[in-house]
C-alpha cells in the first residue's frame, strides 16, 4: 500500500469513529454546538484550502462568501417565507454567481495583489451587510431564521444538527479528495507550482482558477447556510475581515494542500478560544503565542508536523 | 509544417523580434541558435500561445495560430519543453507525465492510448521509471530535463519545441539529451530546437537559423552553417572541435 493511501485510511479510521462516538457520548448541547461549529469551520477551511493550498491563489476576503451564503438564506426564509431547503439551492446559485462575477476580473491578479483585491471585496461586502439595513437588518442583524427540519427529524436538536453538519463535511472531504486525485486535480496542483508551465501543457489556467474560486465560494456559502440555521440570528460582525483572516490561519495552521489539515486547523482554532477562557484577560496573548509556536516548530502545518514526528519516532525504533 | 512569416514580437514597448521568417518541414529537426537576449525564447512563446503581443503570420499545418489559447495550440499538436525545465516539483514524476497528456485525457477512449504513451516515455527514459512515485523536485537536473521532454511527448505532439534543453547540464547529459532528440527525429517527429550551444545543436540538426537582436542573420543546412566562417568566428570559435571538452562533447567529434 502506498504511504499516502495508508495515511488517508488512517485519517478516516480516526475521523469516522470519533465523530460517530462523539454524537452518542456527548450530551451537553454546548459541547455538541462547539463540535458543530468545528464542522462548519471545516467546510470553510476545506474550500479555502482548495483555492489556497492546491491552486495557490490567496483570498483574504472569503468571509464575504460565507456571509453572502448566510444572508441569502436568511433573507429568503425571513422576508420571502422560503422553506430553508428551497433557499439552499438559491443560496448556492447566488453565491456562485457573485464568485463568478468577482473572480473573472480578480483572478487576473496574482500573489499580494490578489490578496489585496480579495481583501477589498471582503470589506465592500461587509459594509453592504452593515449599511443596507432595510434588507440585511444593518448592524443589529437579522433574527427569526427558521431551524432546519426534514420530515419528522428536527435539526433544532443539537445532536441531529451535529450529525447533519458532519455528514455534509464527510461528503465534501470525499468529493475534494476525488477531485484532487483526478486529472483536474493534477492540473490544479500544477498551477501553484508553475502557472506558465501548466499553460504550456494546455491547462486553461484562467478557467480552472475561476472554477476553483467558485467551488471554494460554494463551500463557504454552504457553511454560511448551516451557520445561519444553527444560530438563527446573524449580524455583519460574523463575516468581517477578522473572520477571513481566521479562515486563512486555519488553512495555514492545519497545513496547506491537505484536506485533513483543513479539518485539524479548523478544530484547533475553534477549540482553542474555548479552552483558553481560564486565562481571562490574557486569552488572546496565549492564543497568539500558541499559533506562533505551532508555526515555528511545524512550519508546514500541524498535519505534516505531526506526521513528521511520527515518522521520525518510527525510523528511530528501526 | 510550421511557417512563420514576418513575425514581430513585443514585450510592452520593446520589440524583441523584428520580422522573422522561419519554416519547418515535416520530420525535420530545425535549430534556432543565438546569444542571450536575441529573441529565441520570445519566438517560442509566440508559437506556443504564451505571448499575445505579436504581429505577422504563424501557420501550423496551414492553419493560422493567431488568437489561439495555449491549450488550443497543444491540442493542434505543438508541445513545448520550457526553458529552465519548469517541472512541477511537488508533484510525483508520474503525475508530471500524466499532466503532459492533460488535453488528451478529456476523452475517455484516449485513456488506453495515454497509458501506452506513458510506457513509451518510461522506456525512452528508464531512470524515470525507477523514480515514478518520487516528487519531481528531488530529481537531478538531467533527470528533470528528461522529465520535461517526456512530459511534452505525452501530448503526442506533431511538433516538439525545446527551449534551451542543454542549459545547466553536464556535457555527458547534454549528449544524452541530444541523442534522444536525434532518435525522436529519426522516428519521424518534427523538432524545433532553440539553443545557445550552437555547435551541439547544429551537429544534430537538419537545418539551422541564427538569430541576432530579433533578426535572422543566417540560415541554411546545418552542415553548411557549421562550416560557415562567420558563424565559426562568432559562435563556434575557429577551432571548436579542439576546444572540447572544455564546453561540451560534440556528438560527431566523439563518434
How many Cβ atoms from other residues are within 10 Å of residue B30's Cβ? 25
The arrangement of secondary structure in B1-77+166-255, i.e. its CATH architecture, is 3-Layer(aba) Sandwich (3.40)
Residue B197 has pLDDT above 50, yes or no: yes
The CA distance from A67 to B240, in Å, is 69
So what's the pLDDT on residue B108? 67
Q: Name the pairing type of β-strands B78-81 and B159-163.
A: parallel
**Nearest CB to B88 within list A2, A183, A194:** A194
Q: Could you tell me the CA-to-CA distances from B172 to A144, B209, B244, B248 in Å, in that order?
A: 75, 25, 12, 8
Do A200 and B133 lie within an 8 Å CB cutoff? no
What's the pLDDT tens digit per position in A37-76? 999 999 999 999 999 999 999 999 999 999 999 999 999 9
Contact at 8 Å (CB) between A44 and A220? yes
- Mapping DSSP to helix (H, G, I), strand (E, B) and coil, where does residue B111 land? helix
Do B70 and A193 lie within an 8 Å CB cutoff? no
Give the alpha-carbon dihedral of A272, A273, A279, A285, to 10 degrees.
Answer: 90
Q: Please give, rounded to a whole number of angstroms, the shortest distance from the CA of A68 to a CA of chain B.
A: 34
Least confident of A82-86, A259-263, B132-136, B228-232: B228-232
Q: Please give, rounded to a whole number of angstroms, the shortest distance from the CA of A93 to a CA of chain B.
A: 27
Give the DSSP per-residue string, A40-92: HHHHHHHHHHIIIIIT----S-THHHHHHHHHHHHHHHHTS---HHHHHHHHH
Contact at 8 Å (CB) between A126 and A64? yes
**Across B228-253, average pLDDT:** 55
Q: Cell 432595510 sits at which residue?
A: A134
Residue ranges, CATH 3.40.50.300, chain B:
1-77+166-255
Alpha helices in B78-209 (DSSP H): 93-100, 102-105, 111-124, 126-130, 141-153, 171-186, 198-204
Percentage of chain B with pLDDT > 70?
89
Least confident of A1-10, A120-129, A157-166: A1-10
The CA distance from A315 to A102, in Å, is 49
Residue A135 has pLDDT above 70, yes or no: yes
On whether any CB of chain B is under 8 Å from the CB of A148, the answer is: no
The arrangement of secondary structure in A26-317, i.e. its CATH architecture, is Orthogonal Bundle (1.10)
So what's the pLDDT on residue A165? 96
Q: Please give, rounded to a whole number of angstroms, the shortest distance from the CA of A313 to a CA of chain B.
A: 22
What's the pLDDT tens digit per position in B137-190? 999 888 999 999 999 999 999 999 999 988 888 888 888 899 999 999 999 999
Q: What residues have CB less than 8 Å from A33, skipping those under 6 apart?
A: A158, A162, A230
CA proximity to B47, closest of B91, B7, B103, B96: B7
What's the pLDDT tens digit per position in A174-193? 999 999 989 899 999 999 88
The CA distance from A193 to B136, in Å, is 11
The CA distance from B224 to B222, in Å, is 5
CA proximity to A70, closest of A125, A29, A118, A123: A125
**Nearest CB to B99 within list A2, A187, A192:** A187
Which residues 245-284 on chain A approach chain B with CB closer than 8 angstroms? 257
Interface size, chain A vs chain B, as Cβ–Cβ contacts under 8 Å: 69
**Nearest CB to A201 within list B89, B133, B151:** B151
So what's the pLDDT on residue B248? 45
So what's the pLDDT on residue B244? 46
CA angle A258, A273, A11 (to 5 degrees): 30
Domain range summary for chain A, segments of one domain joined by + = 26-317
Contact at 8 Å (CB) between B44 and B211? no
The band of A172, judged by pLDDT with boundaries at 50, 70 and 90, is very high
Contact at 8 Å (CB) between B62 and B5? no
Do A200 and B90 lie within an 8 Å CB cutoff? no
**Nearest CB to A190 within list B88, B152, B155:** B88
What's the pLDDT tens digit per position in B107-140? 667 777 888 889 999 999 998 998 988 999 999 8
A99's enclosing H/E stretch is: helix A84-106
On whether any CB of chain B is under 8 Å from the CB of A181, the answer is: no
State phi, psi for A83 to the nearest 5 degrees.
-75, 150
What's the pLDDT tens digit per position in B47-72? 999 988 888 999 999 899 888 899 99
**More confident position, A299 or B232:** A299
**More confident position, A264 or A284:** A264
What's the pLDDT tens digit per position in A74-111? 999 999 999 999 999 999 999 999 999 999 999 999 88
C-alpha cell at B162: 525545446
**Across A249-255, average pLDDT:** 91
Amino acid at each position: 500500500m502506498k504511504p499516502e493511501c495508508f495515511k488517508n485510511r488512517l485519517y478516516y479510521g480516526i475521523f469516522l469513529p470519533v465523530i460517530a462516538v462523539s454524537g452518542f457520548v456527548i450530551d451537553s448541547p454546548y459541547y455538541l454546538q462547539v463540535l458543530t461549529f468545528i464542522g462548519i469551520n471545516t467546510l470553510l477551511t476545506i474550500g479555502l484550502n482548495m483555492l489556497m493550498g492546491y491552486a495557490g491563489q490567496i483570498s483574504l476576503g472569503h468571509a464575504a462568501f460565507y456571509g453572502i451564503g448566510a444572508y441569502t438564506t436568511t433573507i429568503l426564509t425571513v422576508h420571502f417565507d422560503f422553506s430553508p431547503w428551497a433557499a439552499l439551492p438559491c443560496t448556492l446559485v447566488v453565491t456562485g454567481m457573485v464568485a463568478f462575477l468577482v473572480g473573472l476580473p480578480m483572478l487576473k491578479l496574482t500573489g499580494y495583489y490578489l490578496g489585496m483585491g480579495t481583501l477589498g471585496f471582503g470589506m465592500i461586502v461587509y459594509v453592504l451587510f452593515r449599511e443596507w439595513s432595510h434588507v440585511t437588518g444593518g448592524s443589529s442583524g437579522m433574527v427569526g431564521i427558521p431551524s432546519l427540519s426534514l420530515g419528522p427529524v428536527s435539526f433544532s436538536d443539537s445532536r441531529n444538527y451535529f450529525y447533519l453538519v458532519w455528514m455534509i463535511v464527510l461528503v465534501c472531504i470525499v468529493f475534494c479528495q476525488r477531485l484532487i486525485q483526478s486529472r483536474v486535480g493534477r492540473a490544479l496542483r500544477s498551477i501553484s507550482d508553475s502557472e506558465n508551465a501548466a499553460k504550456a501543457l494546455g491547462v486553461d489556467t484562467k478557467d480552472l482558477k475561476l472554477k476553483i474560486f467558485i467551488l471554494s465560494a460554494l463551500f463557504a456559502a454552504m457553511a454560511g447556510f448551516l451557520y445561519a440555521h444553527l444560530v438563527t440570528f446573524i449580524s455583519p460582525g460574523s463575516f468581517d475581515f477578522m473572520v477571513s483572516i481566521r479562515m486563512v490561519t486555519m488553512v495555514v495552521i492545519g497545513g496547506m494542500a491537505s484536506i485533513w489539515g483543513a479539518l485539524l486547523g479548523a478544530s484547533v482554532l475553534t477549540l482553542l478560544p474555548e479552552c483558553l477562557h481560564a486565562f481571562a484577560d490574557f486569552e488572546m496573548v496565549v492564543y497568539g503565542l500558541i499559533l506562533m509556536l505551532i508555526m515555528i516548530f511545524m512550519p508546514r502545518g500541524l498535519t505534516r508536523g505531526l506526521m513528521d514526528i511520527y515518522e521520525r519516532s518510527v525510523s528511530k525504533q528501526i | 509544417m510550421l511557417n512563420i512569416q514576418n513575425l514581430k514580437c513585443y514585450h510592452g514597448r520593446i520589440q524583441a523580434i523584428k520580422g522573422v521568417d522561419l519554416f519547418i518541414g515535416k520530420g525535420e529537426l530545425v535549430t534556432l541558435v543565438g546569444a542571450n537576449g536575441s529573441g529565441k525564447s520570445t519566438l517560442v512563446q509566440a508559437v506556443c500561445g504564451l505571448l499575445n503581443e505579436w504581429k505577422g503570420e504563424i501557420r501550423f499545418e496551414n492553419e493560422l495560430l493567431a488568437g489561439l489559447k495555449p491549450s488550443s495550440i497543444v491540442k493542434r499538436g505543438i508541445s513545448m519543453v520550457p526553458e529552465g525545465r519548469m517541472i512541477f516539483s511537488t508533484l510525483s514524476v508520474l503525475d508530471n507525465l500524466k499532466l503532459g497528456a492533460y488535453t488528451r485525457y478529456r476523452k475517455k477512449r484516449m485513456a488506453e492510448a495515454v497509458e501506452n504513451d506513458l510506457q513509451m516515455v518510461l522506456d525512452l527514459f528508464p531512470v524515470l521509471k525507477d523514480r515514478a512515485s518520487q516528487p519531481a523536485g528531488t530529481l537531478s537536473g538531467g533527470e528533470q530535463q528528461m522529465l520535461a521532454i517526456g512530459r511534452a511527448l505525452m501530448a503526442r505532439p506533431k511538433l516538439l519545441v525545446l527551449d534551451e534543453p542543454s542549459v545547466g547540464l553536464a556535457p555527458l547529459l547534454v549528449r544524452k539529451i541530444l541523442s534522444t532528440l536525434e532518435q525522436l527525429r529519426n522516428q519521424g517527429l518534427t523538432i524545433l530546437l532553440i539553443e545557445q550551444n550552437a555547435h551541439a545543436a547544429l551537429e544534430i540538426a537538419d537545418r539551422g537559423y541564427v538569430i541576432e537582436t530579433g533578426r535572422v542573420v543566417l540560415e541554411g543546412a546545418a552542415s553548411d552553417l557549421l562550416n560557415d566562417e562567420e558563424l565559426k568566428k562568432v559562435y563556434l570559435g575557429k577551432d571548436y572541435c579542439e576546444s572540447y571538452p572544455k564546453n561540451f562533447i560534440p556528438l560527431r567529434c566523439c563518434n
